[in-house]
A and B are shown apart, each in its own frame.
Chain A
Amino acid sequence: MQAHNNAYYVPPPSIWPIVGSVALLTLAVGFALVLNKVAVGSLVMALGAGILLIMLFGWFGAVIKESLAGKYARQVDTSFRWGMVWFIFSEVMFFAGFFGALFYARNLALPGLADAQSLWPGFSAAWPTTGPGLKTVITPVNAWGIPALNTLILLSSGATLTWAHWGLQKDRQRQLKLGLALTIALGILFIGLQIHEYGEAAFTIRDGIYGATFYMLTGFHGFHVMMGSVMLIVILLRSLAGHFTPGRHFAFEAVAWYWHFVDVIWLLLFIFVYCL
């Protein structure tokens, strides 16, 4: 069944959760103000983001300190693993929603619009499209250009990360650090190419359902790659500080799982957004 320990670590009262709530509230209020063109909004948002950063540093700092102090017994480690698994599952469902929207738009909404000839004369359900009411013609991004290269980059980064993990398991710290550094470099390269692709693209998020689904899916994915890269950088710094041992490196594995998840999402994007 499960591991038991008389002393499952229950942390002492902590200020960070309430700081986090204040941060998110401030951020949300600021964002709502920005969206409604209230001048002070961006300041409020910056304040919220600042508090959030402080909270993240404080909270993760506390966790790292407790971890290094050996307070996390095996059972706590198992909790962290389960927690990460379910968190990634929730992320999967988040992307599933947007993929569902793409599927619905292409296979149900567009044929429905094409059927409504009395409203949209001459409209046919081809893809890509900006819909019957907008006149823009979409030139999609060529899947076999930058996107294919990015696929290669992200797959390679998965390989380098696994290589780093092997190094960690065998306590080859140099291989761990090198592997992590390579992964981060590939991640940043991916983001750079993605930004370049956005700059070159001949359409915007405002260009109908194609633009909307394209930027929403690739944008959220890109955001996740950025988050993943930041996490990898933290892991690299912690590796340099010698935090990880072959027997105790949950943080590394959690970030690795996350990175592979982002990788898989990209493969789906490559197929459903770029190729098909």
Chain B
Amino acid sequence: MNTSTVSNAAAVHDHAHDHAPTGVMRWLTSTNHKDIGTLYLWFSLFMFFFAGALAMLIRAELFQPGLQLFQPTVFNQLTTMHGLIMIFGAIMPSLVGFANWQVPLMIGAPDMAFPRLNNWSFWLLPAAGVLLISTFFVPGGAIAGGWTMYPPLFMQGGIAYDMSILAVHILGVSSIMGAINIIVTILNMRAPGMTLMKMPMFVWTWLITAFLLVAVMPVLACAITMLLTDRNFGTHFFDASGGGDPVMFQHVFWFFGHPEVYIMILPAFGIVSTIIPTFARKPLFGYVSMVYAVASIAFLSFIVWAHHMFTTGMPLGGQLFFMYTTMLIAIPTGIKVFNWVATLWRGSISFETPMLFSLAFVFLFTIGGFSGLVLALVPVDIQLQDTYYVVAHFHYVLFSGSAMAIMGGVYYWLPKWTGHMYDEKLGKVHFWLTAIAFNITFFPMHFLGLAGMPRRIPDYALQFAEFNMIASLGGFLLGASQLLFLYVVIKCVRGGIAAGNQPWDGADTLEWTQTSPPPYHSFVTPPLVK
């Protein structure tokens, strides 16, 4: 990149945006990374509750054996839409919301690189959300073939299937543009003196995540385009009689799908790597190895996809290759966990709510990592594929992984975003309820899977009844606990003890040099990083 500075005379500062519109137009037309970040976060919170409500319905049906509340058609719609909305509507947008708020603040940039594009990335989400959620009300109901959309099952269905494909296309456009924006912001807009290896860990994880997004969202687009043409234009990509192969969809889909998993966890690593040093009052241990670990995980994510497909009957060589590469992921992931523990070691630790969430993250994510390692081994995977063990595994990495890191991040940065301290007591209550209810819900699912309960079934054999009832009770508690989260967030937004510039004494990233909340345009003059 060019190292010379450009004279200010060449640039004319535009003052028009200093008089931002108010009311709804402020949000509809915003080019401000903080406003757009806020929009992302509220949108994802709404979707989190929507998809969470679907989960409550799922757990209600599974409370006891037999069909009580829903016909299997509706049940399959619930599981499918729960997965799709949680992934694309809740987890991903909330992480992009964090990126919008934090990346410019943490690298000392005035805004994102493409502020207008940033707004479009966000406003495409409600468009896709409307399209997706409205499928519940079309003839035949929403898609019911699983969020993975496997053909030929996905060929059987009505207009909802086409609408959902197009909604995912729109989500993909949004993600790609958002990711390009984040990459360019990080590469081009760091404050003077902030070299790549001086960037906060959160910024690093988002740089790599954004790269993954740009690399794999187009591949998802490719997969669902083929689905769309198979459904509507007579192509035979996934139809054996025309020389196609249903399994080909799975390959293309999981080439997207596995990096997608890391898209949802790497920024969570970044959040946790920011929070733990703050409350251990000690620098992050092994920063350089952390960066390389994240990069290695990202690289490996491109060559492990078929471990989602061990039961499709790959040749021996294929199964072994994907088993070995998958096991390798344990190395960089292990390094990260060791580094977090080493950061805690001989620190000066305090247990505010963000720290509680982060510590729970480290422990519970590791359990999810272990079950991932168990699933990496082909013979064991063949026994456990498509059972509740897998459901337990991915909720340990996605709920106690991503979602709990996100909640920790919300508590951590709420004082910065709103200028008020959140209610620490209620925050802790929320944490303990969440952590306990989460484990009541999902730990028994390991047992269910081992004992042989398939996933995605509306009804089950009697030997699975006890653990399902326990899981359902835990699930209801988990769902109810999140209402407390909503309350704490709203309470904090509306007021509270003034946070001051730096409420956390151990924090050392650039956002804490700004007021709380930061000025509408922060870092108009870039800070100098030593």
Contact = CB atoms under 8 A, between A and B. Distances in A.
Contacts of A86: 179-180, 183-184, 214
10 contacts: A6-B11, A7-B12, A13-B31, A89-B214, A90-B214, A101-B222, A101-B237, A109-B243, A113-B240, A132-B241
A7 B123 contact: no
A101 B252 contact: yes
Interface stretch (A20-28, A194-202, A259-267): A20-28
A3 B234 CA distance: 52
Interface string B151-187: 0000000110011001101100100100111011001
Contacts of B221: 94, 97
B406 to A, nearest CB: 24
A91 to B, nearest CB: 7
Interface of B: 1-6, 8, 10-14, 16-17, 20-21, 25-26, 28-32, 109-111, 113-117, 119-120, 122-124, 126-128, 130-131, 158-159, 162-163, 166-167, 169-170, 173, 176, 179-181, 183-184, 187-190, 192, 195, 214-219, 221-223, 225-226, 228-229, 231-237, 239-245, 247-248, 251-252, 255, 521, 524-526
Contact of A3 (B4, B229, B232, B524): B4
B29 A212 contact: no
Given A1-B195, A6-B525, A110-B243, 10 more contacts: A6-B526, A9-B14, A33-B159, A74-B2, A79-B188, A82-B184, A82-B187, A83-B180, A93-B215, A97-B221
B3 A8 contact: no
Interface string A41-75: 00000000000000000010000000001110111
A118 interface: no
B189 A13 contact: no
Majority secondary structure of chain B interface residues (helix, strand, loop or mixed): helix
A163 interface: no
Nearest to B170: A24
A12 B162 contact: no
Contact of A22 (B6, B127, B222): B127
Contacts of B32: 10
A69 B248 CA distance: 51
Given A4-B5, A21-B127, A13 B113 contact: no
Nearest to B36: A17
A205 B234 contact: yes
Contact of B131 (A14, A28, A97, A209): A28
B240 A24 contact: no
B123 A2 contact: no
Nearest to B19: A12
A94 B2 CA distance: 31
Contact of A100 (B14, B115, B255): B255
A67 to B, nearest CB: 12
Nearest to B235: A212
Given A17-B119, A21-B124, A89-B214, A83 B114 contact: yes
A5 B6 contact: yes
A130 B243 CA distance: 6
B115 A133 contact: no
A16 B255 CA distance: 34
Contacts of A190: none
Contacts of A10: 14, 17, 31-32, 110-111, 115, 521
B11 A9 contact: yes
B2 A78 contact: yes
B252 A100 contact: yes
Considering the complex of A and B, which 3 residue pairs feature the smallest CB-CB distances, nearest first?
Answer: A133-B241, A131-B243, A97-B222
A101 B226 contact: yes
Nearest to A27: B166
Contact of A73 (B1, B10, B26): B10
Nearest to A125: B243
A211 to B, nearest CB: 7
Nearest to A14: B116
Nearest to A78: B188
Contacts of A87: 176, 180
A276 interface: no
A105 B1 CA distance: 42
B120 A28 contact: no
Contact of B113 (A20, A24, A79, A112): A79
Given A16-B116, A73-B10, A1 B110 contact: no
A24 B127 contact: yes
A146 interface: no
A14 B231 CA distance: 38
